[in-house]
Structure 1
Amino acid sequence: MSTETSTNDDVRSGQTITLTQADDGWWVARDEATGVASQGETREDALANLDEAVALHKGEIGESIDTWEEEKEALDDLGIDPEEVQQARDEHDGLPDFMQ
């Protein structure tokens, strides 16, 4: 199930967000302008997570990660293997499978 919506009430009108419900019941929200996506157990959670992800993407919140060393540290903190991320980038033109 997928729902596309843009709202003219939004100050940033013209933006499109796609909501898709996965087979496991989770919702995926994608900002079409930036290509940023996030997920949540509910539509509301997915949209809230997307708001945060887009703000991070645009540098509106969070700290900038400017070097591979900083990225490795951040990935380690999240419990993600940096070498696996690097391998996925090498195999898929820089994007992990979930971002393809």
Structure 2
Amino acid sequence: MSSGREIRLIEEEEGGWSAIDEDLGVASCGDTREEALEMLDEAVALHTGEAGEPVTDEAPDEVPVPDVPWFDDGDETA
């Protein structure tokens, strides 16, 4: 027995297609139905943490500040 996903495909009036996985609340689009489905698969993988690094709700301990001249962190002591 396999667990399936129900996907809604919508042909947009201005051209292209939208693909929506309403159970997960994830959507994507493409120029063709196939492209919209491929993009949706990628979006679902990112949403569920199956692509790249796992998704967590934890805040990072420290966010690095880039050391570039156009970034001003407001610290006048540097």
TM-score over 0.5 for the pair: yes
Higher helix share: 1
Mark the structure with the bigger radius of gyration: 2
User: Are 1:45 and 2:35 matched, yes or no?
Assistant: yes
TM-score, scaled to structure 2: 0.64
CA distance in 1, matches of 2:52, 2:13: 32
What's the CA shift for 1:42? 0.3
Q: Percent identity?
A: 49
In structure 1, list runs of 5 or more residues that go unmatched: 1-9, 71-100
User: Are 1:11 and 2:21 matched, yes or no?
Assistant: no
TM-score, scaled to structure 1: 0.51
Q: Which amino acid aligns with 1:52?
A: E
Q: Tell me which of the two structures has the higher relative contact order, counting C-alpha pairs closer than 8 angstroms and 6 or more residues apart.
A: 2
CA distance in 2, matches of 1:62, 1:26: 28
CA distance in 2, matches of 1:44, 1:62: 23
What's the CA shift for 1:12? 2.0
Residue aligned with 2:8, SS: strand
